């Protein structure tokens, strides 16, 4: 039995806490709001974010961050990507070299264009804990129900990746290892941009052909950027590349797709985000993707058109037309 802290009592944090508990680990699930953590403790269910999924006694919910972290070697960060630096600063005093920080957030920091693992390393530069990333096609709604799921764990240290693999691996939750942190994290963050585009296309009334084209060319765009940044191109053919991209662009559980559908129907972005009620990571990722394209001198036409729709009030039909009528290209570059 291992002792694990899962920071973030949303749908993903709750699902991961359940996976760990089923393995026999003792888990503290931390959430910011005491009223909600007390409700989880009372009902053994996160009715706000993962209704219908019962949690075993080995999952203890708390709003006390110090209590959640006490005596835990493994610390899972399952909060929105925009809050990763803040939470790292809050827990810095309780981090030591023997801790393993496992990031489950998918995003790029807008101010610095840094990946999540880079932010964690920045904040704990003197503490030097081990850092791992988990990613892949893994909607919390399905993980919570025990539906078979496969993810990937990445770390600069092979031993740590394998340690985290053992921590999570089960008949319902298969875990692969990959040392390519750049590829894992770029694939994880930027697939949300393409999912917004897939949703927008559906909202306009486009069909499966258009969605397939967006997914395929979107993957090319993500891989092109990732390789320019130093990633292994094969990573984008794996779970954190095409796997996560397909599920996020097609699933009913995808917040990014749902947001895109509403935007495609002409609903303003601010209203859409209010209606979704949870963080839509693709919005910030679109901004970051365009900035990264400029940084690495990489063409990002899909990302740029989605940016224009989200932030420059470009008509979605006009964006679609401009994508279709770009200069002629060879498919394989």
Instruction: Please list the active-site residues.
Output: 191
Q: What 3-state class would DSSP assign to 251?
A: coil
Cα–Cα dist 124/178, whole Å: 23
Strand order in the sheet with 130-135: 59-62, 26-30, 3-7, 74-77, 100-103, 130-135, 149-155, 173-178
Q: Give the DSSP H/E element, type plus range, for residue 194.
A: helix 181-204
Beta strands in the chain (DSSP E): 3-7, 26-30, 45-46, 50-54, 59-62, 74-77, 100-103, 130-135, 149-155, 173-178
- Nearest Cα residue to 155 out of 200, 105, 103, 107: 103
- Nearest Cα residue to 40 out of 20, 22, 19, 17: 17
Helices 281-296 + 208-229 axis angle, to 10: 50
Beta-carbon contacts of 123 under 8 Å, excluding residues fewer than 6 positions away, are 85, 88, 89, 92
Q: Identify the DSSP state of 325.
A: T
Question: Are residues 217 and 323 in contact, defined by beta-carbon separation less than 8 angstroms?
Answer: no
Rg (CA), the chain: 19
Question: Are residues 41 and 49 in contact, defined by beta-carbon separation less than 8 angstroms?
Answer: no
């Amino acid at each position: 039995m291992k002792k694990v802290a899962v920071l973030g009592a949303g749908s993903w944090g709750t699902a991961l806490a359940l996976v760990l508990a089923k393995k026999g680990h003792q888990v503290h699930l931390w959430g910011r709001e005491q009223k909600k953590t007390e409700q989880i403790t009372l009902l053994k269910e996160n009715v706000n974010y993962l209704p219908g999924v019962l949690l075993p006694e080995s999952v203890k919910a708390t709003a006390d961050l110090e209590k959640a972290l006490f005596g835990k070697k493994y610390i899972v960060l399952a909060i929105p990507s925009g809050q990763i630096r803040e939470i790292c600063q809050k827990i810095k005093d309780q981090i030591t070299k023997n801790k393993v920080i496992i990031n489950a957030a998918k995003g790029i920091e807008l101010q610095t264009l840094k990946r999540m693992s880079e932010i964690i390393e920045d904040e704990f530069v003197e503490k030097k804990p081990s850092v791992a990333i988990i990613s892949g096609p893994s909607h919390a709604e399905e993980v919570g129900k025990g539906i078979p799921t496969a993810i990937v764990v990445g770390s600069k240290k092979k031993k740590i990746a394998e340690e985290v693999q053992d921590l999570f691996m089960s008949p319902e939750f298969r875990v692969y290892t990959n040392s390519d942190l750049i590829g894992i994290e770029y694939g994880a963050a930027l697939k949300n941009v393409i999912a917004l585009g897939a949703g927008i296309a559906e909202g306009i009334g486009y069909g499966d052909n258009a969605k397939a084209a967006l997914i395929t060319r979107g993957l090319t765009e993500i891989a092109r950027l990732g390789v320019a940044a130093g990633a292994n191109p094969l990573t984008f053919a794996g779970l954190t590349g095409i796997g996560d991209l397909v599920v996020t662009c097609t699933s009913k559980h995808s917040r990014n797709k749902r947001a895109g559908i509403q935007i495609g129907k002409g609903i303003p972005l601010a209203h859409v985000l209010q209606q979704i009620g949870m963080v839509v990571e693709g919005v910030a990722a679109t901004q970051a993707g365009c900035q990264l394209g400029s940084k690495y001198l990489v063409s990002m036409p899909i990302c740029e058109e989605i940016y224009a729709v989200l932030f420059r009030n470009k008509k979605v039909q006009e964006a679609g037309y401009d994508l279709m009528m770009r200069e002629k290209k060879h498919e394989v570059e």
